[in-house]
Structure 1
Amino acid sequence: MGTNRRTFLKQSLASSSLLISAGVLESCAKPVAEEKPSEKFKPLILSTWNHGMPANDRAWEVLNATGNLVDAVEEGVKVTELDLENLSVGLQGLPDREGIATLDASIMAGDGRCGSVAFVRQIKHPISLARKVMDLTPHVMLAGEGARQFAIAQGFPLEPEVLSPKAAELYKEWKVKSEYKPVINIENHDTIGMIALGPDGKLAGSCTTSGLAYKMHGRVGDSPIIGAGLYVDDEVGAATATGLGESIIRICGSFLIVELMRQGRSPQEACEEAVRRLIAKNSANIKDIQAGFLAINKDGEYGAFAVHPGFNFARHQQGGKDLIDSKSSFTKNG
């Protein structure tokens, strides 16, 4: 190799080294600005019905204190499980035909982890038992006596199997005729379902209920069924349901809404489509059926829709909190 060629290569390599070094130094001097999760995702908590307001208060408090969204949706609905004025959630809820309060609950994280309990007795916080199923077992659902045995093994105290005064009075009145006909928008199937978006863009949800008043002993509604009463997917969004569980189970309501959002529907459009399908599957007696859906997507957009007027939901966000009336397929005059 000639002298001129060697000199040229040395000079070229030296120049390249200087350019590379300068680029590295410039890169170090000007660090890339990373977008913080809190700047992209604004926390939002939604839950069904007016009892969602105090539940959301607690969930918001827990989220701000711990940053743990699953803890937040669990602790939030525990408030409703203890509300003695609520006859549709918790042990104080209206009983089945045998005069026994049986409870259903589910919880789900956006990564697919989930747990639920169904037809469980004497447990004050079925949502916390569902959380234990999710965190400590290879299963998704435990039911009946098996759920109660698991609760005992986990240190849950068994509560006395006595109806609350209000539930006992109403049950006594019901027994006079023992007629079974659900009344829409009355607290006999008004689950609390909660869905939430965290500052990191993750999603979670919870759902708990004492089920349909004066149901057959052993009846299980939509609330503990993943995909019916609750479904959450970090890639898309979350949905929860309230109302007559059988009608919601028939269309896998919450899963349907999340999948519609995956296909490009807005949360509002997805909720409305779910109600249309529910009506189509229950057209013969739809005047006696109330069901409502609540959804949120990964961008923080939300929607709600019901069969009949009367469904409302609680919304908590950084700017404040409010109770919103949902639109419905039928009107008060229709």
Structure 2
Amino acid sequence: MRRRTFIERSAISLAGISFGSSLIKSDLFAMTKNTAIKPMAIATWNFQKAAQTAGEMLEQGENALDAVEQGVMVEESNLKNTTVGDGGAPDRDGNVTLDACIMDATGNAGSVVYLKEIEHPVSVARKVMEETPHVMLAGEGALQFAIQQGFKRKNLLTPESEAEWKEWLKNKEYKPIINIENHDTIGMLCMDKNGDIAGACTTSGLSYKMNGRVGDSPIIGSGLFVDNEIGGAAGTGMGEAIMKSVGSFLIVELMRQGKSPQEACQEAVMRTVNKSPNYKDFQVAYIAMNKNGEVGSYCIHKGFSYAMFQDGKSSDNLSASYLEE
């Protein structure tokens, strides 16, 4: 009898736990189910055209994955942006090497690192996700795969970037520059009319980095993470610091626990600050979006901004909250 009573009580308890978990999840996302979904796009830094391109696609009924890819491609082709794609600053040896990743609403992801001579690494990352059993391809293997998929080689070192690199060679002083020229890696999150979220991140990395260096941008969970039940996050700034905290994954998990995107971004930044005595020497910034369409952003130093497009309107140069000194 004792054993039977124990089993019966255990079964009831387990059922209660399961039912309780279901209620918690239901309550957490009740607003999403009862609120009309408004497609939206947010992007790190003041990349107005990129956010608008993605946002307009979403309003036309395109899915989040297509929108986020086309959105970041705008900056990959922007020769004035020396930290992304074509025209990106080279490494110490004069090589322009690109990193990118993309993640869809089902949890699938693709990534490329140390990719040369291909203007749109985010599109190669998508091909890795859709056409291979892998998540990440690197270096020569990534280039070979891109060519097999029909991508064309291109010299990405522009005369302007080459001239700046040669000027740098005179002193070879290497240090991160906070908020360099007010632009950096582009990370983007999109929510479509179905409420599905996708994200992408693409960069040429730190200017004059060591040959072979890879930052956070193509690392799933660091530069980008999406969980379609919860939301998504993207990071920018000093990649090494973001990788050490797996920042974007951390933010999504904090939102899972009930924090708002703003609260989650702030806590992720503070974890880096509390573990880095030299945090005043570099920037780390995040953007985040949850399933309710709420957004948040936080950074270490003043100067980080982000762009958003929703309801046919651009919201540009949105200043992120930052750590008060």
Superposition TM-score, scaled by structure 2 size: 0.87
Equivalent position of 2:121 in the other structure: 126
Q: CA deviation at 1:263?
A: 0.3
In 2: Cα distance, 1:255 partner to 1:229 partner: 9
1:305–1:83: structure 2 CA closer, same or farther, 3 Å change rule?
same
> Does the CA contact (< 8 Å) of 2:182 and 2:303 recur in 1?
no
1:182 paired to 2:181: no
Give the alignment partner of residue 266 of structure 1, picking from 260, 269, 273.
260
Q: Alignment RMSD, CA only?
A: 1.7
In 2: Cα distance, 1:245 partner to 1:46 partner: 20
In 2: Cα distance, 1:71 partner to 1:147 partner: 21
Q: Which amino acid aligns with 1:179?
A: E
Report matched runs for 1:159-174 at 5 Å: 159-160=154-155, 163-174=157-168
Paired residue secondary structure (1:40):
coil
Q: Deviations over 1:219-254 (max 9, x none)?
A: 000000000000001100000000010000000000
Equivalent position of 2:315 in the other structure: 322
Equivalent position of 2:92 in the other structure: 97
Q: CA deviation at 1:208?
A: 0.4
Q: CA deviation at 1:282?
A: 1.7
1:102–1:228: structure 2 CA closer, same or farther, 3 Å change rule?
same
Paired residue secondary structure (1:232):
strand
1:37–1:84: structure 2 CA closer, same or farther, 3 Å change rule?
farther
1:42 paired to 2:38: yes
Q: For structure 2, list consecutive stretches of 5 or more residues without a partner in the other structure.
A: 1-31
Equivalent position of 2:280 in the other structure: 287
1:166–1:38: structure 2 CA closer, same or farther, 3 Å change rule?
farther
> Does the CA contact (< 8 Å) of 1:38 and 1:200 recur in 2?
no
Q: CA deviation at 1:308?
A: 0.3
Give the alignment partner of residue 231 of structure 2, picking from 217, 233, 237.
237
Q: Which amino acid aligns with 2:72?
A: V
The higher radius of gyration belongs to 1
Report matched runs for 1:189-228 at 5 Å: 190-228=184-222
Q: CA deviation at 1:90?
A: 0.6
How high is the sequence identity, in percent, across the aligned residues? 54
1:221–1:183: structure 2 CA closer, same or farther, 3 Å change rule?
same
> Does the CA contact (< 8 Å) of 1:38 and 1:199 recur in 2?
no
1:110–1:328: structure 2 CA closer, same or farther, 3 Å change rule?
same
1:37–1:43: structure 2 CA closer, same or farther, 3 Å change rule?
farther
Q: CA deviation at 1:59?
A: 0.9
Q: Deviations over 1:9-47 (max 9, x none)?
A: xxxxxxxxxxxxxxxxxxxxxxxxxxx989621111100
Once structures 1 and 2 are overlaid, which stretch shifts more, 98-107 or 52-61? 52-61
> Does the CA contact (< 8 Å) of 2:235 and 2:242 recur in 1?
yes
Give the alignment partner of residue 88 of structure 1, picking from 80, 83, 87.
83
Equivalent position of 2:9 in the other structure: none
In 2: Cα distance, 1:298 partner to 1:83 partner: 31
1:41–1:321: structure 2 CA closer, same or farther, 3 Å change rule?
same
Q: Which amino acid aligns with 1:92?
A: G
Paired residue secondary structure (2:285):
strand
Q: Deviations over 1:309-328 (max 9, x none)?
A: 00000011115211201111
Q: Which amino acid aligns with 1:102?
A: T
In 2: Cα distance, 1:281 partner to 1:248 partner: 12
Higher relative contact order (CA 8 A, sep 6+): 2
Paired residue secondary structure (1:304):
strand
Equivalent position of 2:26 in the other structure: none
Q: Which amino acid aligns with 1:190?
A: D
Q: CA deviation at 1:170?
A: 1.1
Paired residue secondary structure (2:245):
coil
